[in-house]
Structure 1
Amino acid sequence: MKKASVLAALLVLSSLQGCGGSSLVNTTALTPEQADAGGAGSAFASSEGSKAEERFNPFADPNERATGGREVIADPTLADVMKTGSLPEMSFGRADAPVTIVEYASLTCPHCRHFHMTTYPAFKKEFIDTGKVRYILREFPIGKTSGAATIALRCAAPDKHLTLFGKFMEQQPSWVSQEVRLDPIFKVASQVGMTRAQFDACRENQAMIEGLKWVKDRGRTLGVIGTPNFFVGNKLVKKELSIEDIRAMVGPLVAARATASADTPR
């Protein structure tokens, strides 16, 4: 009985942290969490990465050695966080904003959906639109369904990335499933003008897929273990942020930047 109570408590706490592969998922009924676990792991993951995600632990020390020998950077610098691969960043807001927030998201993650639907509108209005924060969206697909949708997201025109991301989030129940269903995924992508020929061609774009794999692998190296995970500057936060969280973290950083600018000789 005691073991059952401990397990139940861990499951509740895990659900508050975010999405990730887990062997504790109930497979008798389909939910976005199950699709996000993905069974065999992400479409972009190596076998080592898949095993790591199946043993997802929201309480893991971000500085510990990753499964399979991958080295996690302890206390990454802002330069470490901002390192990019072959794909351009999906970046929104002023490039010279005093604070940068990076979100690692999986399109099938219900916690990512909740953040986008409930917190993002206020975050955008208060911080991105006012020039205080540069927001970067990075892919961390968990599960093959999320991987297929992520490829479609990257195939959209750059000025449609955030719009399509929002549509995938808003319409999760219509396309998320344990088995990859391309038609419902394309139906969402078509809402931003993507043709079926473009959608199909993107799934064969190996250079882009390798670029997406790099983004995810780099996220792991930085300590990302699930979704949503955020970098606020160079601080990794492994939970869904509320607008109060964002205000508490961004406010002092903006003030410090303003003070530093005022003290800089002109």
Structure 2
Amino acid sequence: MSFPIFALSRRRFLAFAAGALAFAASPALADKAPAGKIPVEELMAPNALPDIVEGDAKAPVTIVEYASMTCSHCAAFHKEVYPALKKDFINTGKAKFILREFPLDPLAFAAFMVARELGDKRDAAVDLLFAQQKNWAFVDNPLDGLANVLKQTGIGQDKFDAVLKDKALYEKIAAVRTRANEKFGVNSTPTFFVNGDRYTGEITVDDLGKIIAAHTTAK
């Protein structure tokens, strides 16, 4: 990783992050998808950070999304598709959903770091940040915007600043990202794995429903 947040002053971070929102994958990312299907047991092997699972752990379909908090396509998925996915498939026990960190820029790293500070409430913070993405990711002072939005979760400025200096947490998020790239060929967001089958880019509610149904009726 080339942009350790803990090493940046607030001014340098703001200047760096403001120009880093093109959503292009880092040149260091491998531009090659793995051949064939990823075995679910390999996909679900222990990561540098524990998964936060939405839904029944024994659900027959496992959906893993690799997302970046500053990705507009990821935000669209969580605002337009995820509510129906949750209502029709996660809450009914047909599928479980896991979001994993794949930050594409320093600001996305910062957002994920502070969201992780909330423990099992991370996904609620992620939903909040995606819903209000325009209020922090696309403003003149994105780090200040991020801190202001996250105040709704109870994290004050002192705690916010302290989390961004957490080198160990930064490195764990970086490790999740690196493993996704090197083991599973993830090089853009959003990337989804449904029972190990890989899908990239935007996905509609109808298409996702058909994919889930195919996996549910396959046995």
TM-score range, shorter chain: 0.7 to 0.9
Normalised TM-score (structure 1): 0.69
Is the counterpart of residue 108 in structure 1 residue 82 in structure 2? no
In the alignment, does 2:121 pair up with 1:145?
no
Structure 1 partner of 2:151: 190
Note the alpha carbon deviations across 1:189-241, whole angstroms, 9 max, x for none.
11111122222221122221111011101110201110110000111111211
Letter in 2 for 1:35: L
1:62 pairs with 33, 39, 43, which one?
A: 33
Identity %: 34
Query: Could you say which residue in structure 2 is the equivalent of 1:213?
Result: 174
The structure with higher relative contact order (CA 8 Å, sep 6+) is 2
Flag structure 2 segments of 5+ consecutive residues without an equivalent.
1-17
Q: How does 1:6-85 map to 2 (within 5 A)?
A: 35-37=21-23, 50-52=26-28, 61-63=32-34, 75-85=37-47
Alignment-mate amino acid for residue 170 of structure 1 = A
The answer to whether the 8 Å contact 2:66/2:102 transfers is yes
Q: Is the 8 A contact 1:36 1:108 kept in 2?
A: no
The alignment partner of 1:37 has SS state of coil
Matched, 1:254 2:213: no
The alignment covers a number of residue pairs equal to 201
Residue of structure 1 equivalent to 2:93:
131
Instruction: Indicate which of 90, 94, 106 corresponds to 2:56.
Output: 94
Q: Distance in 2 between matches of 1:216 and 1:179?
A: 27
Runs of 4+ in 1 over 3 A off after TM superposition: 177-181
Shift of 1:130: 0.3
1:74 Cα deviation after fit: 5.6
Comparing 98-107 with 148-157, greater Cα deviation is found at: 148-157
Which AA in structure 2 matches 1:62?
A: A
Whole-angstrom distance in 1 between the partners of 2:196 and 2:119: 29
Amino acid at match of 1:201: A
Q: Provide TM-score, normalisation by structure 2.
A: 0.83
Question: Are the equivalent residues in 1 in contact too, given 2:59–2:93 (CA < 8 A)?
Answer: yes
Could you say what secondary structure the match of 1:256 adopts?
Answer: coil
